[in-house]
């Protein structure tokens, strides 16, 4: 199963339905004093790193590159935190930046790696099927795997919930077809 | 979730897996499945795939990744964007260089609306404002004193955009050597500006995140290099200064006006002429909270990015990002 750790508790009561997501700070921003931004930022990083990591990694599919993208995400958040409004961005906002950056990065890689492993077991097939997904389909499934409801995914991707639903279906359908095709080659 | 358009039963199956299906749709799906063997089969398949995806492992972050990030944040997180923290008395325009009388910070929105479109477009296309403030003095120790003694926020020059004053005659004729960091609260404060000749070799321009080792191991084409590297390379003696326009937004809108679309088209033209640069699209939004500001800023940046995509720009060259809460606009910076 996933190597997940809960967020470090900015708002421990508020967790997602699968109890795997870090704190959502919707109504209760961290609200650090201006002179304590550094501490707030570090807390933000520690609380959300794993969540952001998983979203980004699923889209980027490469540890070194994912680390770089995650750094950019938090540095963007840091800039926001250093702006005029002295409060930390919440997890939903981080998701928004994370998916946007990761997608931008993934598209720069000029197409997914396609692996030809017809004999691979289901788990490996699923992994490689993910890499064949079109860019617009990768982000919603990545967020869905974080246990987010459609409304949250829609918010992170700036899409209508109906589109999220349709894309999730298209993603799963594409993966089904991929697995079926590969299995038929065995 | 309700909608008038009929939905494919398989989409309903997918939604059912996520528990995001309305009672009416459940009823419809149930009735359909009773009569459709093919969909029953697909239901089982989709469920199996969904469960498989759910159990799919995620790679763990590389060892020390959080510490590397925190280290970088400590050194790097001083706001590198031109977020104005204007002193109460004299808010500085984004590019300070003996501003003409009509160029004042509050007038920026008006300025962009009053400049004739043709002039705006013409000015927008060309003009690269050089940034001289290479971060040669980035402190290695987070506790070390900041270079600007009286500034409340040290403006790390690392990501200060090459360009992006609002499009106006005043901004575009500003002499490059007179440009201060946009956020410097007052001209009397010496910004951390290195002279033009300081970076003797462009490839040796110091990077702001020295401790972040992975930076140096990654392919430069795939990752945004520190902007100053691009600046250094674009800083050819004969290069004309370039100003990319600023796209203004009204209220809480993220819609591009007709005028904004024309300005974005000039940016697209610029990108077509400079195929080796990436465009950082920085969405600003005034809002009550950082969160709202980030969300709206991101949406605006995405709106501009999508329009650039529509105009044929490769999305991999576009980096939309939220940038600040001080204004309602989108501006640009260039990266390699």
Same domain, A117 and A168: yes
Q: Tell me, what DSSP letter sits at residue A12? A: T
Task: Chain A: give the shortest CA distance to residue B116, in Å.
Answer: 32
**pLDDT (average), residues B219-247:** 50
Query: Cα dist. A54→A57, A61, A129, A160, B15 in Å?
Result: 5, 10, 17, 23, 22
Higher pLDDT, B149 or B40: B40
pLDDT at site B5 = 55
- The verdict on B319 touching A (C-beta cutoff 8 Å) is yes
Backbone angles phi, psi at B255, to 5 degrees: -80, 140
CB–CB contact A145 B60 (8 Å): no
- The verdict on B125 touching A (C-beta cutoff 8 Å) is no
Q: Is residue B20 scored above 90 in pLDDT?
A: yes
- The verdict on B49 touching A (C-beta cutoff 8 Å) is yes
- The verdict on A75 touching B (C-beta cutoff 8 Å) is yes
Task: Chain B: give the shortest CA distance to residue A39, in Å.
Answer: 10
Task: Chain A: give the shortest CA distance to residue B238, in Å.
Answer: 31
- The verdict on A179 touching B (C-beta cutoff 8 Å) is yes
Task: Chain B: give the shortest CA distance to residue A114, in Å.
Answer: 18
Same domain, A102 and A132: no
- Give the Cα separation of B86 and B91 in Å (integer): 4
CA torsion sign for B130, B180, B124, A97 is positive
Taking CA–CA distances from B77, the nearest residue in chain A reads A78
Mutate to test the interface with A, among B59, B291, B313 (most CBs of A within 10 A): B291
pLDDT at site B172 = 35
pLDDT at site A141 = 92
Taking CA–CA distances from B183, the nearest residue in chain A reads A83
Task: Chain A: give the shortest CA distance to residue B326, in Å.
Answer: 7
**H and E: helices and strands count for chain A:** 7, 0
Choose among A160, A91, A175: nearest CA to A125: A175
A85 neighbourhood in chain B, CB within 8 Å: 287-290, 293, 325
Beta-carbon-side half-sphere exposure of residue B273 (alpha carbons within 13 Å): 10
Per residue in A165-180, pLDDT (tens digit) is 999 999 999 999 888 8
Same domain, A166 and A117: yes
- The verdict on A136 touching B (C-beta cutoff 8 Å) is no
CB–CB contact B222 A109 (8 Å): yes
Would you list the domain boundaries of chain B?
9-54, 65-335
Cβ distance B147 to B137 under 8 Å? yes
Task: Chain B: give the shortest CA distance to residue A106, in Å.
Answer: 8
Same domain, A119 and A103: no
Query: Three-class SS string for chain B?
Result: CCCCCCCCHHHHHHHHHCCCCCHHHHHHHHHHHHHCHHHHHHHHHHHHHHHHHHCCCCCCCCCCHHHHHHHHHHHHCCCCCCCCCCCCCCCCCCCCCCCCCCCCHHHHHHHHHHCCHHHHHHHHHCEECCCCCCCCCCCCCCCCCCCCCCCCCCCCHHHCCCCCCCCCHHHHCCCHHHCCCCCCCCCCCCCCCCCCCCCCCHHHCCCCCCCCHHHHHCCCCCCCCCHHHHHHHHCCCCCCCECCCCEECCCCCCCCCHHHHHHHHHHHHHHHHCCCCEEEEEEECCCCCHHHHHHHHHHHHHHHHHHHHHCCCCHHHEEEEEEECCCCEEEEEEEC
Same domain, A25 and A95: yes
- Give the Cα separation of B329 and B303 in Å (integer): 12
Query: Cα dist. B220→A76, A97, B157, B200, B230 in Å?
Result: 19, 21, 20, 21, 11
Q: What is the DSSP string of A19-33?
A: S-S----SS------
CB–CB contact A149 B20 (8 Å): yes
Same domain, A24 and A56: yes
Q: Is residue B268 scored above 70 in pLDDT?
A: yes
How much is the pTM?
0.51
CB–CB contact B325 A158 (8 Å): no
Higher pLDDT, B78 or B257: B257
**pLDDT (average), residues B28-36:** 92
In a domain, A184, yes or no: yes
- Rounded (10°) angle between helices A122-132 and B37-54: 90
Count of A-B CB contacts under 8 Å? 225
In a domain, A99, yes or no: yes
Same domain, A101 and A158: no
- Rounded (10°) angle between helices B258-273 and B290-310: 60
Query: Which B residues, 150 through 209, put their C-beta within 8 Å of a C-beta on chain A?
Result: 153
- Tell which of A110, A129, A159 closes a domain: A110
pLDDT at site A65 = 87
**pLDDT (average), residues A112-119:** 47
pLDDT at site B245 = 87
Complex-level ipTM: 0.72
In a domain, A105, yes or no: yes
| Percent of chain B surpassing pLDDT 70 | 48
pLDDT at site B95 = 40
Same domain, A128 and A99: no
Q: Is residue A83 scored above 80 in pLDDT?
A: no
CB–CB contact B322 A93 (8 Å): yes
Instruction: Identify the domain containing residue A47 by its residue range.
Output: 20-110
- The verdict on A18 touching B (C-beta cutoff 8 Å) is no
Q: Burial level of B290, CB count in 10 A (0-12/13-18/19+)?
A: buried
pLDDT band at A121 (very low <50, low <70, confident <90, very high): low
A63 neighbourhood in chain B, CB within 8 Å: 59, 61-62
Same domain, A106 and A117: no
pLDDT at site B236 = 40
Same domain, A101 and A27: yes
- Tell which of A62, A89, A110 closes a domain: A110
Mutate to test the interface with A, among B22, B25, B53 (most CBs of A within 10 A): B53
Per residue in B178-220, pLDDT (tens digit) is 334 343 333 333 333 333 333 334 444 444 433 433 444 434 4
* Mean confidence (pLDDT) of chain B: 63
CATH topology of domain B65-335: 60s Ribosomal Protein L30; Chain: A; (3.30.1330)
Same domain, A125 and A167: yes
Per residue in A20-30, pLDDT (tens digit) is 444 444 333 44
- Give the Cα separation of A49 and B213 in Å (integer): 18
Q: Which residues pair with B248 in a beta bridge?
A: B329
pLDDT at site B112 = 40
B318 neighbourhood in chain A, CB within 8 Å: 104
CATH of the domain at A124: 1.10.10.10
Split into its structural domains, chain A has a count of: 2
Same domain, A153 and A166: yes
């Amino acid at each position: 199963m996933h190597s997940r750790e809960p967020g470090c508790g900015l708002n421990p009561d508020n967790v997602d339905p699968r109890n795997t997501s870090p704190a959502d700070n919707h109504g209760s921003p961290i609200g650090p004093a201006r002179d304590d931004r550094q501490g707030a930022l570090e807390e933000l990083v520690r609380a959300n790193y794993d969540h952001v990591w998983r979203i980004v990694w699923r889209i980027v599919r490469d540890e070194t590159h994912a680390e770089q993208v995650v750094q950019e995400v938090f540095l963007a958040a840091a800039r926001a935190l250093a702006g005029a409004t002295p409060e930390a961005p919440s997890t939903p906002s981080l998701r928004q930046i994370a998916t946007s950056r990761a997608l931008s990065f993934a598209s720069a890689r000029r197409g997914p790696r396609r692996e030809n492993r017809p004999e691979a077991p289901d788990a490996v097939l699923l992994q490689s099927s993910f890499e064949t997904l079109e860019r617009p389909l990768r982000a919603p499934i990545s967020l869905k795997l974080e246990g987010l409801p459609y409304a949250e995914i829609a918010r992170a991707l700036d899409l209508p919930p109906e589109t999220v639903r349709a894309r999730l279906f298209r993603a799963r359908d594409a993966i089904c077809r991929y697995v079926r095709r590969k299995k038929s080659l065995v | 979730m309700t909608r008038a358009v009929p939905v494919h039963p398989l989409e309903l199956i997918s939604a059912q897996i996520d528990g995001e299906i309305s009672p009416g749709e459940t009823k419809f799906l149930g009735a359909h499945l009773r009569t459709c063997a093919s969909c029953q089969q697909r239901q089982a398949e989709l469920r199996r795939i969904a469960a498989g995806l759910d159990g799919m492992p995620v790679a763990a972050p590389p060892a020390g990744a959080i510490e590397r990030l925190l280290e970088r944040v400590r050194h790097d997180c001083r706001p590198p964007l031109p977020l104005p923290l204007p002193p109460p008395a004299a808010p500085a325009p984004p590019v300070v260089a003996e501003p003409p009388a009509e160029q004042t910070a509050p007038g920026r929105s008006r300025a962009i609306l009053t400049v004739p479109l043709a002039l705006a477009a013409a000015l927008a296309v060309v003009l690269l404002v050089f940034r001289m403030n290479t971060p040669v003095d980035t402190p290695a120790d987070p506790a070390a004193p900041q270079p600007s003694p009286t500034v409340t926020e040290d403006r790390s020059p690392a990501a200060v955009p090459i360009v992006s004053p609002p499009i106006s005659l005043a901004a575009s004729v500003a002499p490059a050597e007179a440009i201060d960091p946009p956020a410097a609260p007052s001209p009397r404060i010496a910004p951390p500006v290195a002279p033009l000749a300081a970076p003797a070799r462009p490839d040796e321009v110091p990077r702001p995140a020295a401790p972040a080792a992975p930076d140096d191991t990654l392919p430069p084409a795939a990752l945004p290099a520190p902007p100053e590297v691009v600046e250094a390379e674009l800083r050819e003696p004969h290069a004309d200064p370039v100003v990319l326009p600023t796209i203004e937004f009204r209220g809480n809108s993220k819609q591009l006006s007709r005028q904004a679309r024309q300005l974005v088209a000039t940016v697209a033209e610029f990108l077509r002429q400079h195929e080796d640069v990436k465009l950082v699209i920085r969405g600003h939004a005034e809002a009550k909270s950082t969160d709202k500001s980030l969300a709206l800023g991101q949406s605006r940046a995405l709106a501009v990015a999508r329009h650039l995509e529509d105009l044929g720009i490769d999305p991999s060259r576009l980096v939309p990002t939220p940038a600040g809460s001080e204004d309602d606009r989108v501006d640009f910076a260039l990266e390699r």
